[in-house]
Amino acid sequence: MKSSVVSSKNLIRLQSAISRSFLQHSSKPISQTPFFIPIFPTNTINLYNQRYQNLQIQIRSNSSSIMSSSAFKPEQAGLPPALPLPSPLLTKFKIGICQLAVTPDKERNIQHARKAIEEAAQKGAQLVVLPEIWNSPYSNDSFPVYAEDIDAGHDASPSTAMLSEVSSRLKITVVGGSIPERCGDKLYNTCCVFGTDGNLKAKHRKIHLFDIDIPGKITFMESKTLTAGETPTIVDTDVGRIGVGICYDIRFQELAMIYASRGAHLLCYPGAFNMTTGPLHWELLQRARAVDNQFGEVLATTEHDEDIIIAEIDYSILEQRRANLPLAKQRRGDLYQLVDIRRVGAH
């Protein structure tokens, strides 16, 4: 059974539409790129801790397996979810992805993002996603200048004040891309999620900083100015349970796995990929995270320039897809598990 596909150009279709993923990419440095991948819960890893900080894969030797090979039954390896899966208020809705060009004028960037959100909502989007660092040029020199005190709000954070106002006025959920955040003497790359009431529901600080040195091509060290976040972020909204990552976070599959284990309906990765490592990887990484959690299908994509694309998410297919490919029953929990280091260390 194949699912319908919506596309602007360069439609890509995966061979098996077990689940759906919504992928969008850019190949122009000026355009910041949000990435979005809906997944369905795997229900096989019994971890749920909002203070979760560190991830690792623990491989057990055969000699220390829970069950011997001869006694192993795949269905016994699946662990029950720590929390019951939530029932979202909306099971079928439209999502809007805004690909934006950024200027040195912060106020102009804010008003430009506002108009993009309003346009997406006018087209029926009930969830709108902005790109990474949409209010500032992407540079270590710019981060301290454009950073805002999100916790102080209002005048101290005009970018998030706009997101709060527009989400409340339009009654939509907004995954607000990311902006440079100032907290004390530290700077973070931070994504804010606002609910339909305009309240800040979650704040994700980029966990994996982009530090890379490719001789003759690109050198960029986010850690020169930014501090890494310490907590994976999952939040319940009107459009389902959302796991949030930012750009480079998408390269680490453990984060997606822990979100799946916590019952995420979808994952959002606002991104701003560079033109050296980006073109070969941005689409592949999104497809990989979808495949990690049981395949996906491209619903819509865009070209290099600014754009707003709309697609429909339908959660009703999730149970069917899970039944078609029952990884929850087949995962070898006797041999490997995703381990919450902080949680284990507390016992």
Q: Is residue 201 part of a domain?
A: yes
Considering its fold, how many domains does the chain have in total?
1
**Tokens 């991830």 -> residue:** 55
Q: Which DSSP string do the residues of 196-225 spell out, in sequence order? A: TTS-EEEEEE-SS--EEEETTTEEEEGGGT
CA–CA separation, 132 vs 34, rounded Å?
A: 7
CA–CA separation, 282 vs 334, rounded Å?
A: 34
Q: What is the pLDDT along the chain (347 residues), one digit of tens a residue?
A: 333 333 333 222 222 222 233 333 333 333 454 544 444 333 222 222 222 233 333 323 232 223 333 344 444 444 444 455 678 888 899 999 999 999 999 999 999 999 999 999 999 999 999 999 999 999 999 999 999 999 998 899 999 999 999 999 999 999 999 999 999 999 999 999 999 999 999 999 999 998 888 888 888 899 999 999 999 999 999 999 999 999 999 999 989 888 887 888 889 999 988 778 877 788 888 888 877 776 566 666 676 789 999 999 988 777 777 788 888 778 887 888 776 554 444 44
Q: Is residue 12 part of a domain?
A: no
Domain harbouring 213, CATH code: 3.60.110.10
What is the biggest distance separating any 2 CA atoms in the chain, rounded to whole angstroms?
66
Half-sphere exposure at residue 205, Cβ-oriented, CA atoms within 13 angstroms? 16
For residue 277, the SS3 value is coil
Instruction: Region of 10 please: left (phi>0), alpha (psi -120 to 50) or beta.
Output: left
Phi (first) and psi of residue 126, to 5 degrees: -105, -10
Q: Is residue 59 part of a domain?
A: no
Q: Is residue 252 part of a domain?
A: yes
Pairing of strands 179-183, 186-194: antiparallel
Half-sphere exposure at residue 220, Cβ-oriented, CA atoms within 13 angstroms? 16
Catalytic residues: 132, 206, 247
What pLDDT, on the 0 to 100 scale, is given for residue 213? 87
For residue 230, the SS3 value is coil
Q: Which domain holds residue 155?
A: 31-39+88-321
Q: Is residue 76 part of a domain?
A: no
What pLDDT, on the 0 to 100 scale, is given for residue 34? 53
CA–CA separation, 143 vs 40, rounded Å?
A: 35
Query: Do 45 and 261 touch, CB atoms closer than 8 A?
Result: yes
What pLDDT, on the 0 to 100 scale, is given for residue 104? 97
Q: At what angle do helices 278-292 and 253-261 cross, to 10 degrees?
A: 30
Residue 2: enclosing H or E segment and its boundaries? none
Please give the structure tokens belonging to residue 333: 């929990």
CA distance to 51, 58, 255, 347, per residue, from 341 (Å) = 11, 10, 14, 10
Looking at the chain, how many residues does it have?
347
What pLDDT, on the 0 to 100 scale, is given for residue 273? 81
Q: Is residue 273 part of a domain?
A: yes
